[in-house]
Amino acid sequence: MKVVVATKNPDKIPEIEAVLTAVLPDVEIVRDAEFPDVDETGTTLEENALLKAHSAAAATGYPSIGDDTGLEVDALDGRPGVHTARFSGPDATYASNREKLLADLTGAADRTARVRTAVAFGEPGGGEIVGA
């Protein structure tokens, strides 16, 4: 089976490939596939993962895997969540996001947080599977 990993991040492809080949030894990642960037307009990690998977599947004709990852902080009611990469604004950097997060957590006794990833499988005909 051939699949496209719907990411422009080259570091993610080997990570996803390692997991896929462990459970599906015959899977082949299509590495030269062209697909558009996707505006992550979903309100959940699952929605954004599906947007990416369906967009790449439609563009390439191959089943595709999309993902989205977010930091969920209990004291901030799950924020930044889907906005993790842009938490401090449209021109966010790792440093500015960290500064905003620490500022928002000022006085918070409980700083429990998790990094959560949602993964979606989308087929060119519209079929889908999503999990987190």
Round to whole Å and give the CA distance between 27 and 41: 30
The torsion angles phi and psi of 73, rounded to 5 degrees, stand at: -110, 125
Q: If you count them, how many residues does the chain have?
A: 132
User: Which residues neighbour 38 within 8 Å (Cβ) at sequence distance 6 or greater?
Assistant: 6, 48, 51, 52, 55, 66
DSSP assignment letter at 86: G
Catalytic residue check, 68: yes
Catalytic residue among 39, 68, 77, 91: 68
Catalytically active residues are: 68
